Amino acid sequence: MPYLRTHNLEKKFDGVHAVDHLSVTFEAGKITSIVGPNGSGKSTLINTLTGMIPVDGGAVIIADTTHLTKVVPHQVPLYGMTRTFQDVKLFEQMPVLDNVLVVLTERNIVSALFEKHGTYHLERAEEVLKRVGLWEKRNELAKNLSYGQRKLLEIARVLGMLHGAPGEIELIFFDEPFAGLFPEMVKTVISVMKELRDKGKAVVLVEHNMDIIRELSDHLYVLDAGKLLADGKPLEVLARKDVIEAYLGE
């Protein structure tokens, strides 16, 4: 069942299309991957869908009930969506545990800092930090974590939002979550994404590692210069000559 669809979505920079009348569908209970050469519009697409940059045209349809021509960032959780970033965004001066507690409680950081954290919130924070292997780092400031640990903390925050956001999170965008991770960390993130799919969530993955794409993807979109070049089952799509020429450079 589609959770989010775009219809002729459009984004231009200085008159050049970064997203060129793009229509894609992200389904519940599936991992949909997006690949393409650098500059193909992958991250721009996610940024428009999460309100980080404005849409220039087209529409976003959520759960076949909400029709948007504009996405406002602070309303994204209300639409049932959350995301990770290529450039990890954390509260640097706060401990690891507090970074998770913030998303488990109030969306407003000031309110969250002064909220008395109940047993449920603390247990949930412990659960998600143990899930990504960061419980032992719970009292460490986020700024002191390694690059890979920072990515894992961002994923822990996403897992926390599944129960902490107003309403249920149904779609998660992962923007290059595996870059810079050690093999054991990669295994952890892969298992987290599979669990989200098994729970019926719509998972959207932007990734360059084709082995990971083949392992995880239920459906694959290939972008080139902001346009849809190909889509379908990963093994079939990646075997296409035009995809190999555009993306793999062969």
- Residue 186 domain flag: no
49 in a structural domain: yes
**Predicted local confidence at residue 114, as pLDDT:** 47
Mean pLDDT, contiguous 10-residue spans, the chain (250 residues)? 94 92 97 92 94 94 89 87 87 93 66 57 92 96 95 93 72 93 95 96 94 96 94 95 76
> What is the spatial distance between Cα 99 and Cα 102, in angstroms, rounded to a whole number?
6
Judge if 66 and 86 occupy the same domain.
Answer: no
Looking at the structure, do residues 90 and 64 belong to the same domain, yes or no?
no
Domain boundary among 120, 149, 169: 169
> Does residue 248 sit within a domain?
yes
Residue 185 included in any domain:
no
Q: Is residue 182 part of a domain?
A: no
- How many domains are contained in the chain? 2
Last residue of a domain, one of 145, 169, 193: 169
Tell me which residue range forms the domain holding 250.
1-71+172-177+201-250
Does a structural domain hold residue 191? no
In terms of domains, do 13 and 63 share one? Answer: yes
Same domain, 67 and 92: no
pLDDT at 103: 85
In a domain, 184, yes or no: no
Q: 154 and 89 in contact (C-beta within 8 Å)?
A: yes
Residues 6+ apart with CB under 8 A from 50: 71, 73, 76, 81, 83, 173
Say if 76 falls within a structural domain: no
Based on the domain organization, do 214 and 156 belong to the same domain?
no
Same-domain pairing of 53 and 88 = no
Asked if residue 215 and residue 250 are part of one domain, the reply reads yes
| CATH number of the structural domain spanning residue 30 | 3.40.50.300
Which of left, alpha, beta for 167 (phi over 0: left; psi -120 to 50: alpha)? left
Specify the pLDDT at position 165.
53
Q: Which residue has the tokens 């926390």?
A: 160
Identify whether residues 51 and 87 lie together within a single domain: no
Q: Assess whether 222 and 162 both reside in one domain.
A: no
Rounded CA-CA distance 110/133 in Å is: 27
3-state SS record for the chain: CEEEEEEEEEEEECCEEEEEEECCEEECCCEEEEECCCCCCHHHHHHHHCCCCCCCEEEEEECCCEEECCCCHHHHHHHCEEECCCCCCCCCCCEHHHHHHHHHCCCCHHHHHHCCCCHHHHHHHHHHHHHCCCHHHCCCEHHHCCHHHHHHHHHHHHHHHHHHCCCCCCEEEEECCCCCCCHHHHHHHHHHHHHHHHCCCEEEEECCCHHHHHHHCCEEEEEECCEEEEEECHHHHHCCHHHHHHHHCC
Residue at token pair 């700024």: 143
CA 186 – CA 218 distance, rounded (Å): 19
